[in-house]
Amino acid sequence: MVRSRRLWIGVIGLLLCVIVTLSSGLIDLDREPHFLVQRARVLSVDDSELSPDPFVDGLFIGRQTIEIEILSGDHVGQRFRIVNTMSRFHNHHATENMELLVSIMEGEIGVVGHVDVFGHSRATFLYIFIGLFLLMLLIVGRKKGLYSAISLVFTLVMVVFFMIPLILRGHNPVLFAVLTAGLTTVFAIFMVSDISPKSIAAIGGTLVGVASAGVVSILAGRFAHISGMHLEHAEELIFHAQQGAQIQIPHLLSAGVIIAALGAVMDVGMSISSAVFEIREANPKMETKKLYKSGMNIGGDIMGTMSNTLILAFAGTSITVIAIIAIYQLPYLQFINLNLLAIEIVQGLSASIGLILTVPVTAFLAALLASNNKVTGKSPGF
């Protein structure tokens, strides 16, 4: 029964992923590219005009003259001798037998006008790396690992092909971030833990937590006078908006907080709910009030480490900004009022507040449902 329910959940999730992907508009096989990007192998390299960067270890600046052979597309097998100009911000150091990506500008039909180095070819490594992660997930988690992998794919599809296209079309980022978080939470928890009172409690606590994080970030952004234009790449996002859609930039901060907090909040909700139901199973006579107190005690222990996780996650993505602030040794008044610092504080603390509020809500729902659940052994379905 449990296996059949999970199968149906997985099928529904797969169909939803296919529908969302095809209707997103992000995949267009008929779209004509401005230039062709193809794989190429480096046959020979002349480094005579290349020198080590005096300030950045491991980088080389200058020019390389390289001979390449095209490995994909309409020009397979053709060889070209090109100059690879390298700076600190466009640095693709080529070595013999390395595979690169090259951009090909065509002049007349079928005739190559210009070839330039586009970047490193990382696809093979990334596929292997992802495969290694999934393999470890399956070896360690077995069936649970498989369910987790399916949930992860569903989450990525919903964020990339559901939420992002709707934001680019001018819809409210916060609304669809919450909707995406809700769909992802329901699917992931039902997939991993089946349809049960324990899952219902975890879902309820998670949704309250991420919604709270979104609301807090909106209010904090307004009081701190944080415009969405302070976000990285905001101007570029507006410039490249599809069909002139009015992207609601001010709400992107809150949408990002909701998605960033989702994983940690879901983890906290599921951990507390599972613990409360395990306690109820070990002691069926325990009262609802005591179950709730136990859930709060467990949640308090989890909350401290998870809050650190969220804060450090946001800080880690801004490590270069923190380093620049340290280098300039800004006066305290200027430092504390920086836009970048305010954004990091609002993001980190909003997500942490959502996580904190997840604890009492999940503990209450789990205690209530566990007390009313007569059979606690195998997570019965409704």
Please report the pLDDT score of residue 225 as a whole number. Answer: 81
pLDDT of residue 231: 63
Domain 142-372 has CATH 2.60.120: no
Q: What angle do CA 142, 148, 150 make, to 5 degrees?
A: 110
More confident residue, 174 or 55: 174
Q: Which two tokens stand for residue 308?
A: 């650190």
- The residue ranking higher by pLDDT, 294 or 231, is 294
Alpha carbon 75 to its chain centroid, in Å, reads 36
d(CA 132, CA 114) in angstroms, rounded, equals 38
b/e per residue, 297-313, with b = 16+ CB within 10 A? Answer: ebbeebbeebbeebbeb
Q: What is the pLDDT of residue 235?
A: 62
Give the span between the Cα atoms of 245 and 161, in whole angstroms. Answer: 17
In terms of average pLDDT, the best of 85-89, 138-142, 201-205 is: 201-205
Paired tokens of 105: 């500008």
The pair of structure tokens assigned to 123 is 């696809």
Q: In the prediction, which pLDDT does 364 show?
A: 94
Mean pLDDT of the chain: 82
- Residues 165-216 pLDDT 10s: 888 888 888 889 999 999 999 998 988 877 889 999 999 999 999 999 989 9
Separation of alpha carbons 116 and 101, rounded Å = 9
Distance, CA of 99 to CA of 172 (rounded, Å): 42
Task: Check: CB of residue 366 under 8 Å from CB of residue 277.
Answer: yes
Q: How is the chain split into domains, by residue range? A: 36-121, 142-372
Q: What is the pLDDT of residue 228?
A: 63
3-class secondary-structure state, position 106: strand
Give helix 288-317 / helix 319-328 axis angle, nearest 10°. Answer: 60
pLDDT at 379 over 50: no
pLDDT grade, residue 240 (50/70/90)? low
The topology (CATH level 3) of 36-121 is: OB fold (Dihydrolipoamide Acetyltransferase, E2P) (2.40.50)
Summarised one tens digit per residue, pLDDT across range 305-358 is: 777 777 777 777 777 777 777 787 778 787 778 777 788 888 888 888 998 999
Confidence (pLDDT) at 131: 93
Highest mean pLDDT: which range of 10-14, 181-185, 282-286, 323-327: 181-185
**Lookup: tokens for 367:** 């205690």
- In Å, how far are 98, 181, 270, 363, 368 from 298, measured between CA atoms? 52, 24, 12, 9, 16
Torsion of CA 231, 233, 239, 242, to 10 degrees: -90
CB of 87 closer than 8 Å to CB of 75: no
Sign of torsion over alpha carbons 7, 8, 14, 18: positive
Residue 324 one-letter amino acid: I
Provide the pLDDT confidence category of residue 382 given band limits of 50, 70 and 90.
very low
Q: In this structure, what is the dihedral angle of CA atoms 156, 157, 161, 164, given to the nearest 10 degrees?
A: -30
